[in-house]
Structure 1
Amino acid sequence: MCGVHSRFWEIDALRGIAIFFMVLFHFFYDMVFFGVFHVDVWSGPVFYIGRSAAILFIFLVGVSLTLSRSRSKISGLQVSFSKYLKRGFHIILWGMVFTLTSWVLFPDKVIVFGVLHFIGTAIILSYPLLKYHFPNLIGGLIVLFSGGLMKNLSVDSPWLIWLGITPPYFQSLDYFPLSPWFGVIMLGIFTGNVMYPDYHRKYYLPDFSDHRVISALELIGKRSLFIYIIHQPLMVVLLCVTGIVDLNSMGIW
């Protein structure tokens, strides 16, 4: 049992693991992008590190949405759409900051629907789904399957990029369309409703929350948005300060 004002340490720790591997993937990605060394980031171990981090993090977004809803319900608070609309819009705005930055620095690979755009949109769209169990399981699998089909579709218009249908030769530094990724959110909602009904853990789990490594992962998980926002600029600054990367010579700055 977890009190209404408590947090589930395993959720924060898992989110911390996802953030750690995301930062690790972006480190390799930046090294390749700036030509420091050559590693295949689109296949093999590095690719799977990045993909696993994304899947885990987005899955936990779905789980966390159910926890937020059940916590509000047992606290006697109204589960209002405005709460999710404000949260989603806030994250979308941060996504637009990344869009503007990428447009200035990398105009040929602008982030038009990256992970922050996706998560913010998914939070808003998830509201009517949060009370359901198996419909989210079935729907999530359908969305995942449809993502595989849409991957091979291409249109001349850019207006369906958010859905997963792109123009020919589309490139972006960060791209998370609703199909298939909203399917991962739905599977997270299903799992959260099944495993944490009424804001309590339905399974036995020993308490490892006081372990130093787990505590560190929990802290990272609780600050996931902040870490995501600052980690890329911070890594680029460190690369420049140490002289590993010269943006002037690359024509970027």
Structure 2
Amino acid sequence: MDRNLQQRFWEIDFLRGIAIIMMVLYHLLYNLHYFAHYNVNVYSGFWMYFARTTATTFIFLVGVSLSVSFSRTKKIYKDRNKLFMKYFRRGLKVFSWGLIITLVTRIFLGKAFVIFGILHLIGISIILAYPFLKLRYWNLLIGVLCIFLGAYLKSRRFQLVDLSFFSGIKVFCFLGKHSLLIYLLHQPVIIAVLFLLGIANMNLF
């Protein structure tokens, strides 16, 4: 499916939007368990796999987005140094937000703070992935099967129906487009609401 250099893939935004909702739901339950002592097991069973599926979806979409971005950006930046700096700055920005989350959770959660979360992982991965982006099939021997599958899907003959004009789809796409902002804000908002409603007790004083 041909796209111009500026057009977003609604499919990616849509899937990322679903992952955002899954993340918010899990963190709501986690906050109820942690701050309000609700009897819900978020560390094992269904909700553990739910959280892992959510994180895996985010990481998978980061890889897809990075590959799409690189294939487009290399047509604009002919200088390899500029191309590298673009992804270095992007990765550093995401990793820096991860460090802020580490600092904030260290202040409010004590020993339960986030040491190395998904933003740390994504930020570092964006930086480290750059040298491998242009290697394509020779990247990792262990990933040969996945690479061949990706090559097949890239040259697929079928057309995916464009559903981006449906209002329901647009909601998920909107969330997907603003995933970083929502990721940074949703936890403070959920905790603040639970605290104001008297459901959660943060024991800050």
TM-score tier, shorter chain, comes to 0.7 to 0.9
| 1:214 Cα offset (Å) | 1.1
Q: Output the TM-score relative to the length of structure 2.
A: 0.88
Tell me the distance in 1 between the aligned counterparts of 2:49 and 2:112.
Answer: 22
In structure 2, the CA distance between the partners of 1:115 and 1:26, relative to structure 1 (3 Å rule), is same
CA contact (8 A) 1:133 1:193 kept: no
Q: Output the TM-score relative to the length of structure 1.
A: 0.72
Question: Matched residue of 1:5: which SS?
Answer: coil
**Matched residues, number:** 201
Moved more, 77-86 or 97-106: 77-86
Tell me the distance in 1 between the aligned counterparts of 2:75 and 2:150.
Answer: 15
Letter in 2 for 1:237: A
In structure 2, the CA distance between the partners of 1:71 and 1:2, relative to structure 1 (3 Å rule), is same
Letter in 2 for 1:227: I
| 1:109 Cα offset (Å) | 2.1
The residue aligned with 1:123 is 126
The residue aligned with 2:103 is 100
Question: Matched residue of 2:93: which SS?
Answer: helix
Question: Matched residue of 1:106: which SS?
Answer: helix
In structure 2, the CA distance between the partners of 1:211 and 1:107, relative to structure 1 (3 Å rule), is same
In structure 2, the CA distance between the partners of 1:208 and 1:34, relative to structure 1 (3 Å rule), is same
| Pairing 1:38-53 to 2, within 5 Å after superposition | 38-53=39-54
Answering whether residue 171 of structure 2 is matched by residue 216 of structure 1, we say yes
Q: Which has the bigger relative contact order, CA under 8 A and spacing at least 6? A: 2
Tell me the distance in 1 between the aligned counterparts of 2:150 and 2:130.
Answer: 14
Letter in 2 for 1:252: L
CA contact (8 A) 2:36 2:201 kept: no
RMSD after superposition: 2.4
Per-residue Cα deviation, 1:23-78 (whole angstroms, up to 9, x for no partner):
11111111111134111112222222211110011001011011111111344654
Per-residue Cα deviation, 1:188-219 (whole angstroms, up to 9, x for no partner):
x887666447xxx7642011111122111111
In structure 2, the CA distance between the partners of 1:76 and 1:35, relative to structure 1 (3 Å rule), is closer
List gaps (5 residues or longer) in structure 1: 142-186
Per-residue Cα deviation, 1:63-117 (whole angstroms, up to 9, x for no partner):
1011111111344654511011100111111111111111111221232211111
CA contact (8 A) 1:64 1:192 kept: no
Per-residue Cα deviation, 1:2-37 (whole angstroms, up to 9, x for no partner):
112111110110111111111111111111111341
Per-residue Cα deviation, 1:148-203 (whole angstroms, up to 9, x for no partner):
xxxxxxxxxxxxxxxxxxxxxxxxxxxxxxxxxxxxxxx6x887666447xxx764
The residue aligned with 1:22 is 23
CA contact (8 A) 2:36 2:199 kept: no
Structure (1 or 2) with the greater helix fraction: 2
CA contact (8 A) 1:18 1:56 kept: yes
Answering whether residue 161 of structure 2 is matched by residue 206 of structure 1, we say yes
List gaps (5 residues or longer) in structure 2: none
In structure 2, the CA distance between the partners of 1:82 and 1:192, relative to structure 1 (3 Å rule), is farther
CA contact (8 A) 1:25 1:47 kept: no
Identity %: 41
The residue aligned with 2:73 is 72
